[in-house]
Structures are given as structure tokens and as C-alpha cells.
Chain A
Amino acid sequence: MDGIDFELYRGEAFGFLGPNGAGKSSTMRMIGCVSPPTSGELRILGKDPVKDGSAIRARLGVVPQEDTLDVELTVGENLLVYGRYFGLPRRVIRERTAALLDFVQLTDRAKDKVDPLSGGLRRRLTIARSLINEPEILILDEPTTGLDPQARHVVWDRLFRLKQRGVTLILTTHYMDEAEQLCDRLVVMDHGRFAAEGSPRDLIGRYCSPEVLELRFDPDMHTTAADKLKDFSSAERSEVLADRILLYVSDGDAALTAVRAAGLEPLTSLVRRGTLEDVFLRLTGRRLED
């Protein structure tokens, strides 16, 4: 981590985006008070995580990237054990377990062992577990990675409801649609630094055009077309990929007409809205990194 600086406000959803190895999980661990910052100042809920880690963690909920459920135990027992860690009395845990399992739609699985549960069910159980202490801040490290679309939508729906109840959400994700759905504000991280910060709308406005025209040419034509379109006058910016050419424009259809007028006939063309994914790729590059 290198010189990151941010403030969170109560009740907002704040996202950390970035490629693998950008430092998202390390930041999450620091906020979760299980990793001491080597330098700089970190305050969580107004307290010092090194001195008051235990007291801060009592007010946090954590949904880790990898499930840490005890698969030998039942769904209900997992909540019991976890509630015990927070020193909650059995009666309170029982009441909250009923409400939380209802919230994540797992009530009918309460007595089942965790072992045979699918990834989506486990995630929901992990979310329920993280809420047993009624946390003020919920930390989610890639909450929907590896889930099927149905399960992702259920998780998003639950997280959105939590936000509406005033729980502060801090999450990391690779999924731009997830960030757009959930985050009020987000930062794009790369190499342990913040590459950009703002609301999803705001970032798209700043780093991308309203529309994107994607053109695919006959392979023989690709280089010729790329030369002509590299500095195309009606595009804010253009990007030549191995198989496609992207034009960042304010009006996609008008740009397509201009391309045709310039004597270029694409095999396929697609006009779409500028997205957070465009912002992300612009800021962190298209290269694969380990």
C-alpha cells in the first residue's frame, strides 16, 4: 500500500476496484483490524486499530473473500459459534439467528450441515453470520466472486437493503456492474495506489465518453482501418485492440455514419453506453498482471 488516503461516511457504500494484486484485500485487512499499517494514520470508527482492534472489531462485520464457515457444523450452529465470539448471550443469538436466516432466505436450511451447501448459499450464510453483532460497518471482500447470476442478484438485493438500513458497506470487487449497482463512491486501485476516486456516474463522466462505438473489420482491413481511425476527428479518443477498434464518442450512431463516410465498412459494429469497465480498463491498462 502506498499513500492511499480516504474517508468514509456513515451509511454510504464505498467500493475498492482494482486488478488482482492491486492491494484491495490488504486494505480490507487493515480496515478489518487484522493487519497493522506500517506507516500512516488509520482511524476506524474514530479509534486506533492497533490499540483498540478488539473493540473496533466488535462493531464490524466481515465477509471474507474465502468462506471461513465451519462445514462440520449446521447453519444455525455456525451463527451460534460466531455470536459467541462476540460474547452475545444464547438468547440474543437465537433471536437474531431467526431474523438473519429469514433475511438471507435460509430459514429452512437452519438445521442442515454447511458441507453440502452450494457456493451461493454459503455466501448468504456468511453474510448472515457477519451481521450477528449488528455491525455498524460491513466489510465485504469480493462478495459475489464465483456465484451464478441468480445468487449474485440475491446477494446484491440483500446488500442494498442493508445499506438502506444505514449500515456502512465497504466492498472490493472485480465486477463493474456490482460496483455500479451498490457503490455510492468508489476508488480504482492499481499497484497499491488510488488511480481515481468518485461516484460511478462521476468516474464515467470523467474518464469515458457517453457512448462507445465498437468496430470489427475484416482481418486484412484491420491495420488500414486502425491507421485511419487512430486520430479520428469525431472521436474523443480511440483504442486499437487486436481484433476490434473502439471509438469513444458522444454519439455512437453519428460516429458510425462518419466512419462509413470515410470509406470504411466494418464487418460488425456496436454502439453502447460508456461503462465503469471502460474507466477501469483505461485506468489500470489492458495488460494481464499477476
Chain B
Amino acid sequence: MQMSVRAFRCWLTAYRRIWRSSIWSSVFGPLFYLSAMGLGLGTLVNSHGTASLGGVSYLDFVAPAILASGAMNTAMAEASYPVFGSIKWNKIYYAAQATPLRPADIYRGHLMFMAMRLIMNTALVTVFMWAFGAVRSAWVVLAWPVAVLTGLAFAAPIAAWAITVTTETSFTYIFRFALMPLMLFSGTFFPLSQLPGWLRGIAYATPLWHGVALCRALSLGHADLLGALGHVAYLAVLAAIGIWAGARTYQRRLYV
């Protein structure tokens, strides 16, 4: 643990140099989404009636989903190229490897940094949601950690996999064939009840849906304990599998 913290602190030092440029995408991404979806598209949807959204405005409906899916996107951004680049481009994993740090420490230290980025970005989105008047319950403060957990459920396995990748085009495939469909079909922009039954079944099994569903329930103030625990358990198991796998894939890649 202490060794992982050493690796984490080094990411912090590096981040201090580049945070200014990264903060802009963290700020403007959600701002654009909330404006375009919530206000733009929302006006159109609201004028047709929002019974199928559970009677809330489209902005209220979509904002917590933007929070959860934003966490997924942050996870992908932080766990794909930065991991790949650390062995292919600037090789800082190799630098760290020559020190007392073990491959698992290098992985966990980097994951801590990803968690920090998730905490930052999701906090921003939560504040924006509130500023846009898209929050209906104080429980939204719990939607924030749930979004972080959603991000970790992606970041941990993606990083564990990214270290094994040999060409960067693999990431493009994941973007196109995994993250894009998840973003579109996890009850993010429309309720799953709009989908045919078989597709709904698949959507319920995906991690983003669990993140979206729980963030939404908290933000709208109708979360129930049992359902919440189920969602959290699903996401936590996925993150745990990633953490378990990451220690091994990093070991195999770096310690040869």
C-alpha cells in the first residue's frame, strides 16, 4: 500500500504540470452535454410529455446519466493511452520498475491517480447539475461517490488490459464497439423501457446501466436500499476483478 502511494505521488507531481490543460475538457465536456441534452433536446422532449421518464423533466432525467457516463469516459481516457504510453512512449513504468516498486504497486499507484481524476471530474459534474437546477434530492451527494465507483469499475479492468495491448488501435475498437454502445444503450438518454425486451436484458447486464440507474435514483430521490446495494455490489465486484487482474497483467508485462 505504502509503495502504491509512492507511485501515486509521482503521478501527482506530473499532473501538477498538465492540470490546466486537462481541466478544460473536464469543465466544458459536461457543460456542453448538460446544455445540449438537458436544455436543447430537453425542451423538445418536455413539450411531448414526460410520463415515460417518470414525470420528471428531461434535464432531471439525463443529468445523473451524464454524471455516470462521464465517469466511464474519464476512466477510459485515464486508463487507456496513459497506461499504454507509460511502457511505449515515455516509459515511466520502466523507470519505476527499477526502484523498490513492484509491478502491482505501479498498477495500484496509477489506479489511485485515476480515482483522483474521477473524484475531481465527477465532483465538477455534480456541481454543474446543481447549478443547472437538475437535482431533485439531497441524496445526490451520494450519486457522486457512486459515479466514482462506476468509473473505477471501468478504469481498473481497462488499465489491467491496456498494459497487455501492443498497438494503440485496440483502443479505437474499445471506444467504438464497447463504450459507444454502452453510452447509447444504458438508459442514458432514454429510459430502457423504450427498448425491445431482449435488448433491455443485455442493457441490464452492463456496468454503465447500474451506474446510471443508481445515480439517477439518488438524484431524483427515489433510491431504495436493496436496489442500491445491488448496483453497488455489481460495480464493486467489477472493480475488484480489475484490481485482481491488474496486479497479474502488470507483473506479466513488466517482470519478464
Contacts and interface: CB of A to CB of B under 8 A. Distances in A.
The majority secondary structure among interface residues of chain B is helix
A73 interface: yes
Contacts of B102: 53-54
A69 to B, nearest CB: 7
Contacts of B91: 66-68
A101 to B, nearest CB: 17
Given A54-B101, A57-B100, A62-B98, A84 B14 contact: no
A82 interface: yes
A68 B14 contact: no
A142 B114 CA distance: 35
Contact of B13 (A36, A64, A69, A73): A73
B254 A34 contact: yes
B7 A85 contact: yes
A80 interface: yes
A81 B3 contact: no
B141 interface: no
Given A73-B17, A85-B10, A68 B95 contact: yes
B95 to A, nearest CB: 4
A143 interface: no
B167 interface: no
A58 to B, nearest CB: 4
B12 to A, nearest CB: 10
Interface residues of B, number: 25
Given A54-B3, A85-B99, A87-B100, A68 B92 contact: yes
Interface in B11-31: 13-14, 17-18
Interface in A240-267: none
B255 interface: yes
Contact of B98 (A60, A71, A73): A60
A67 B90 CA distance: 9
A268 B99 CA distance: 54
A34 B97 contact: yes
Nearest to B18: A72
Nearest to A86: B99
Interface in A97-153: 130, 133
B108 to A, nearest CB: 14
Contacts of A53: 102
Contacts of A70: 14, 90, 92, 95
Interface of A: 32, 34-36, 53-55, 57-58, 60, 62, 64, 66-73, 77, 80-82, 84-87, 130, 133
